[in-house]
Chains A and B, each alone.
Chain A
Amino acid sequence: MTQDRKSAVVLIAEDDREMRSLLRDELYDLGVSIREAADGDEALRSVLDTRPALILTDLRMPAGGLDYIARLRTFAPGVPLVLITSFGDQQTKANALALGVEAYFDKPVRISELKEAVRRLLGPALDGEID
């Protein structure tokens, strides 16, 4: 790793501070830059400011929901979306996937599985930066 390398940015949108902190700590290991947002609006602003390489977002939070996901899709075309939601039902999962979400997880999710998905989706970006 070199000092001047620009790490890939991962946006974590999550209204629960502890959950956010956990995700931050875990993803830090992957060597990515973390941007955080505590609600939907903040997440959208952040997407416009910094083009993230991946967005990891909660579904149920202030200014969240499926509309928010659809907007994210429009604002950040081509950016992989990982959705985590508390005990989601079949319908939510189907709707999310229909919107083009790359990965879907129900809370509670095993962090190892989540990290695995993030690593897979970031793949080239991670490799590019590391090299």
Chain B
Amino acid sequence: MTGLCRKDSSVQKHFEDIFEASVDAIGYVASDEAILLVNRAFSELTGFSKEELLRMNARDLIPEQHKEQRDRVVAQVLQTGKPVEYEIDYLRKNGSQVPVSITLFAVKGDDGKPTGLAAIVRNLTERKRAEEQFRLVVESSPNGMLMIDKGGTILLVNRQIEQLFGYERAELIGQSVEMLVPQRMRPHHAGERAKFFAHSESRAMGKGRDLYGVRKDGQEFPLEIGLNPIRTPDEVKVLASVVDISARKRAERALQKERDFIDAVLETAGALVVVLDREGRILRFNRACERTTGYSSEEVMGHYVWDLFIIPGEVEGVKAVFERLRGGELRNDYENYWKGKDGVLKRISWSNTVLTGSDGTVEYVVAAGLDITDFKHVEAQLRKTERIAELGTLASGMAHEIGTPMNVILGRAEYLLQRTADEGMKKGLATIVTQIERITKVMNQLLVFARRKQPDRQVVDLGEIVEDSLEMFQERMTHNRITVEKAIEANVPLIHADRDQLVQVLINLVTNSLHAMPEGGRLRLSLDRENSHVLLGLSDTGHGMSEEVRSKIFEPFFTTKDFGKGTGLGLTVVKGIIEEHGGTIAVESVVDRGTTFWIRLPLDRTESVGTSSITPTPSP
């Protein structure tokens, strides 16, 4: 400086102005550190006036605890002659401290020996405050925050990171970030990290992959990471924001479980469940729907329900019900037909309800239905049964009334028959006798049916009943050239049944078979155990029946025999008896091939009647 002063006083003046105007504090001390020169900024920084400062030693500005360390720096500068930059706190006049950065260099005399020291002192308060603010922001973040450098070294972590990973801050700073990555993912992570530094941009880490962190105790947990590159002139750092998503994953799993549960309920329930959007398009179509209609879920998805299943006559009604639901009716019931893929109609009883959005508008209509087609059959069957019961009562009453008049006609015909020689007369009278006998036969059949009583059950051997019943037909079988095959299992359990009624069943069935085989044929009887039933099969090689006939054979008074040959009650009686025994009867038939009847009668489970069953002795 002195050199410049001597050359030109105006330059000297400029220099002084610059010195004074500098934002950084500048001071010059003698080799004993007595302050020789300071600028205004120095005075402002320390709070001491220039006059005060010029009476002070530079060491007076250093807090006691830093003096020793600082003295070493000064000594180093004086010794080496190289400038040093260091950070320290300055004591201010008011006793407070101010963080400063000092660039210290030796001022040499003409002989090259240091004559004093110059210091450029920068106030670090703002920078420190900014740093502190950054630290506070990071610290108070609800997410875990972590800063690393290019080499993956952890520079900074916040409290959340400590909590998430279970490490103390001191255990993390300076370590490689890979210590927080599960072992198996470390090599991959290091590679990805290098790539990120090469082309850094703020983004989520992992791109759709599930990310995991590992805690100090070795436990892994799912996390989500946001990456933010922080660029300074010399380097790039990365600030990562880490969120533990265990809770979210748990919630997702719970939700999924709930969904799976609902799916399972919907799919296993016997009920038809169909979900429609507010326009009536199908959104959901469960397996029961698929089974009932023959359509797959994929086929119907997005179609209007009335376009697919509803028969023309019912479309308006269905739309009206749908409209009511959409208009705010919370639930209603409806019954209609659904037409399956094969055109078969099923009667469905629906319970409908709506799902509304948060604003109360109807979003979905949920319909749960039961296929009541079979119930309808049963209902019809029941009505028929009731009619038959009434018929029985009527028949019994009628029998008492017509028996005598019939007898008078019959008797008188016989009486006259014995007294006339006129052949024409005889023929006419004989006809009267036959016709009365025919009426008698019909009446008797009708009465058998009408007077059916509760079966009188005994332990019976069905095989024996079959044998006995066939015995009665022996002569007719031979005469009609019918061969009999029997496949009667030896160990078929005994059953509880009314022997007479079962004989009646066999007589009626065998009679029908004989009628079906006027040209001869084969009659096959089989008896076997089938689970909790005995299965009796009776098949002939007769003329069989059409499906139309087959569907009506159990109806009273239905007959295919010539007028007078059959009463149309034989199979009605058979079915009645079997059902009274808790059994079922089924029939298969092929025209010109033959007919098979299958009778299933339940084994008595409460009593030991079988050859092999054992009844436990009840304890007293």
Bound complex: CA A106 to CA B437 (Å): 12
Which one of B407, B415, B447 lies within 8 Å of A107 (CB-CB)?
B407
Q: State whether B443 touches A87 (Cβ < 8 A).
A: yes
Q: State whether B404 touches A107 (Cβ < 8 A).
A: yes
Task: Give the interface residue-count category, chain B.
Answer: 20 to 34
Q: State whether A19 touches B404 (Cβ < 8 A).
A: yes
* Chain B neighbourhood of A123, CB < 8 A: none
Stretch at the interface among B3-11, B357-365, B395-403, B592-600: B395-403
Contact with B along A4-31 (1 / 0, CB 8 A): 0000000000001011001101100000
Stretch at the interface among A33-41, A46-54, A72-80, A109-117: A109-117
Helix, strand, loop or mixed for chain A's interface? mixed
Bound complex: CA A86 to CA B408 (Å): 12
Q: State whether B414 touches A87 (Cβ < 8 A).
A: no
Q: State whether B399 touches A25 (Cβ < 8 A).
A: no
Q: Does A57 contact B (CB under 8 A)?
A: no
* Chain B neighbourhood of A84, CB < 8 A: 407
* Chain A neighbourhood of B400, CB < 8 A: 60, 86-87
* Chain A neighbourhood of B401, CB < 8 A: 86
Q: State whether A16 touches B404 (Cβ < 8 A).
A: yes
Contact with A along B589-615 (1 / 0, CB 8 A): 000000000000000000000000000
Which one of A25, A60, A86, A106 lies within 8 Å of B415 (CB-CB)?
A25
Q: State whether A109 touches B443 (Cβ < 8 A).
A: no
* Chain A neighbourhood of B412, CB < 8 A: 22
Residue total for A at the interface (Cβ-Cβ under 8 A): 22
Contact with B along A78-113 (1 / 0, CB 8 A): 000000111101100000000000000011111110
* Chain A neighbourhood of B409, CB < 8 A: 108
Q: State whether B406 touches A89 (Cβ < 8 A).
A: no
* Chain B neighbourhood of A86, CB < 8 A: 399-404, 407
Bound complex: CA A22 to CA B404 (Å): 11
Q: State whether A108 touches B444 (Cβ < 8 A).
A: no
Q: Does B66 contact A (CB under 8 A)?
A: no
Which one of B403, B406, B414, B440 lies within 8 Å of A111 (CB-CB)?
B414
Residue of B nearest to A23 (CB): B411
* Chain A neighbourhood of B108, CB < 8 A: none
Q: State whether B411 touches A22 (Cβ < 8 A).
A: yes
Q: State whether A110 touches B406 (Cβ < 8 A).
A: no
Q: State whether B415 touches A87 (Cβ < 8 A).
A: no
- Shortest B520–chain A CB gap in Å is 34
Q: State whether B415 touches A108 (Cβ < 8 A).
A: no
**Which residues 387-427 of B sit at the A interface, judged by CB distance below 8 A?**
399-412, 414-415
- Shortest B402–chain A CB gap in Å is 7
* Chain B neighbourhood of A106, CB < 8 A: 403
Taking Cβ atoms with an 8 Å cutoff, the residues of B that contact A are 399-412, 414-415, 436, 440, 443-444, 447, 451
Q: For the complex of A and B, list the 5 residue pairs with the smallest distance between their C-beta atoms, beginning with the closest.
A: A86-B403, A87-B399, A107-B403, A108-B407, A108-B406
Q: Can you list 10 A-B contacts (CB < 8 A)?
A: A22-B412, A58-B404, A85-B403, A89-B447, A106-B403, A107-B406, A107-B407, A108-B407, A108-B436, A111-B411
Q: Contacts A19-B404, A109-B407, A111-B414 given; 18 further ones with Cβ under 8 A?
A: A16-B404, A18-B405, A19-B408, A22-B407, A22-B411, A22-B415, A23-B411, A26-B411, A84-B407, A87-B399, A87-B403, A89-B451, A107-B407, A108-B407, A108-B436, A108-B440, A109-B410, A111-B411
